[in-house]
Amino acid sequence: MIDTHCHIDFPDFDSDREGVIAEARRNGVDRLINIGADIPSSRRSLELAKTNDNIYCTVGVHPHDSKTLTPAFLKEMETMTTSRKVVGIGEIGLDYYRNLSPHDIQKNAFVQQLDLAVTLHLPVVIHVREAMDDALQIMKGYTGRLRGVFHCFPGTTEQALRLAEMGFLISVNGVLTYKNSRMAKVAQEVELETILLETDSPYLTPDPYRGKRNEPAHVSIVCRKLAELRRVDTAEIDKITTRNAEKLFKLVEIFGQ
């Protein structure tokens, strides 16, 4: 299994990071993609990836921190992507729930980073909250030029299908296990070939561990829950979602080097 979205560079893991990585492996999660969320975490993510064979990373600025994106950091991001351990740009997007950056600044930062991804031929990891209509409108302009994943998918089945037509995947996590989860409904209705597994560690811990720190090992819980929802073997979910992640982030190509 692959945890396609975690943040184990965060201080939450400073006391036991190596143990968390080992526990993930014991639970069948043999590869992690650590996601940059701002300038410092993008730098930390790359360092973490460079020092762990089974960890890859993305670099980018989260919509909360859109106002911190500068031309200098865009240039630094471009330089970072010369490392084979950088497999995408993210997490980027729009978040109108917390509104920690003005909407126009969020949109501008989003577009700048999408354009960078097009130039670099890299997939994107997109965060959207309470902003799906604006995100879909922006993404229309990138149809056929860009691929990526809408992480912790917040939308409807109809929106997921529209994104699939545009070449985008969705990722699911511990929210699948929550009562009355819309994500669970969507995960039952779209093609398995459009789904990735993630944790968003240290956030969104699945039941029965909700309220505690999330970690990559819990991808195994997400995998089992998705198998239950789809009424297929866990091994089938593992195989298909792993293949989806390898194709999107070109991990097979990396392993072949």
Which residues fall within 8 angstroms of residue 108, CB to CB, at 6 or more apart? 66
Q: Write out the two tokens for 177.
A: 């296990």
Half-sphere exposure of 118 (CA within 13 A, CB side): 13
Q: By CB neighbour count within 10 A (0-12 exposed, 13-18 middle, 19+ buried), where does 23 fall?
A: middle
- What's the one-letter identity of residue 226? L
Closest listed residue to residue 12, CA positions, set 41, 49, 38, 33: 41
Tens-binned pLDDT, residue by residue, of the chain (257 aa): 999 999 999 999 999 999 999 999 999 999 999 999 999 999 999 999 999 999 999 999 999 999 999 999 999 999 999 999 999 999 999 999 988 899 999 999 999 999 999 999 999 999 999 999 999 999 999 999 999 999 999 999 999 999 999 999 999 999 999 999 999 999 999 999 999 999 999 999 999 999 999 999 999 999 999 999 999 999 999 999 999 999 999 997 655 44
Sign of CA dihedral 204, 208, 212, 213: negative
DSSP string computed for 16-77: THHHHHHHHHHTT--EEEEEP-SHHHHHHHHHHHHT-TTEEEEE---GGGGGG--HHHHHHH
